[in-house]
Chain A
Amino acid sequence: MERAGAPGWGVMMQRFRDGIRGLGLPLLVAPLWFDLLIEMFSNRPSRIVGDALGIGLVWLAVAMLRRGGAGDTRRAAAVVGLAAGLTAGLAAHVGWLPSVMAGFGAYVGMRLLYDGSFVEAPPPPEPIVEAPPAPPTPVSIVIGEAEARLTRLRATAARLSAPSLTRVADAMGAVLDDLRARPDRLPLARRFLVVHLDGVDRIADRMVAGAEAPETLGPLLGELERTAGELRSHLRAEENAALEVQVKVLSDRLREEGYR
């Protein structure tokens, strides 16, 4: 009985054939090595070139066949055809017509022998070397820092008795409450936490240091309060969309399984 997972005879045969694919071709031109030696001693350069090209092109075709990419069988057949033509013409000196016939014959022979004998695979994609991702800041640290800033901001607002600052701090506190409930939404609000909260914090510091609030500060704080509200509604809209998708998926599933 065949063990589960062990490759069958067909698979092993195919693997064996893939392993020796094309290696018979150099055997066919093996006499050229011998002839190469003879021609070197007889000093006939055109025949030496013919021998070398015959041997080299056949090995090139073997490399193509064994690479096994898309279109490689066809290319290897053309290269062997060329090798056969050059071998017949230059090394064997049989005249141009028999040489052309040999080239064509070798091409057709290669196509008959190797076409469809294996599945041509596309070349494997270049491995993509990715830079290791920067270690993400833990969500709790980001939220904790923002909370500490907000507490300080609230205290400052109370000390300065600035109701607009208190309102901004409250609005931002509400955003933080939302984020604490759903920390996975943090990327959506990270810019808000970094830029806006930091900006308000610096403004409060300057005011504590005795700076006079410019006229534009009031509208700016109003704008920040409004932005915080918008961000909350944006976060809520994301939640709603996710919920809608969940509801749709579940109801589709029920319908598919015939419960509805």
Chain B
Amino acid sequence: MLAGYDRTLLSVVPTPIRRMVGLWLLGLSLGLPAFMAVFR
């Protein structure tokens, strides 16, 4: 499960939190611009 993170500092962060942060970041960086495109 953690194979991709074993060598990084992120390995100390619990997986569910990491996934949630990832989802949030993705929503902010991809979802928000896509949403903004409709209203500009």
Chain A residues in the interface with B (C-beta under 8 A): 25, 28-32, 34-35, 38, 47, 50-51, 54, 58, 73, 80, 83-84, 87-88, 91-94, 99, 101-106, 108-117, 119
Contacts of B29 in A (CB 8 A): 84, 88, 101-106, 109
Contacts of A119 in B (CB 8 A): 3
A255 to chain B, nearest CB (A): 40
Contact A109–B34 (Cβ < 8 Å): no
Contact A92–B34 (Cβ < 8 Å): yes
User: B4-38 CB contact bits vs A (8 Å, 1 = yes)?
Assistant: 11000010000100110111111111111111111
Give A111's nearest chain B residue, CB to CB.
B22
Secondary structure dominating the interface of A: helix
Bound-complex Cα distance A105 to B19 (A):
14
Contact B26–A109 (Cβ < 8 Å): yes
Sample (26) of A-B pairs whose CB atoms are under 8 Å apart: A25-B30, A29-B30, A29-B31, A30-B34, A31-B35, A35-B37, A54-B34, A54-B37, A80-B30, A83-B30, A94-B36, A105-B29, A106-B25, A109-B21, A109-B27, A109-B28, A109-B29, A110-B26, A112-B18, A112-B21, A113-B22, A113-B23, A114-B22, A115-B4, A116-B4, A117-B19
Secondary structure dominating the interface of B: helix
Chain B residues in the interface with A (C-beta under 8 A): 1-5, 10, 15, 18-19, 21-38, 40
Interface centre among A32, A73, A99, A105 (most CB of B within 10 A): A105
Contact A31–B34 (Cβ < 8 Å): yes
Top 8 A-B pairs ranked by shortest CB distance? A112-B22, A116-B4, A105-B29, A113-B22, A109-B25, A109-B26, A88-B33, A115-B4
B16 to chain A, nearest CB (A): 11
Contacts of B35 in A (CB 8 A): 31
Give B3's nearest chain A residue, CB to CB.
A116
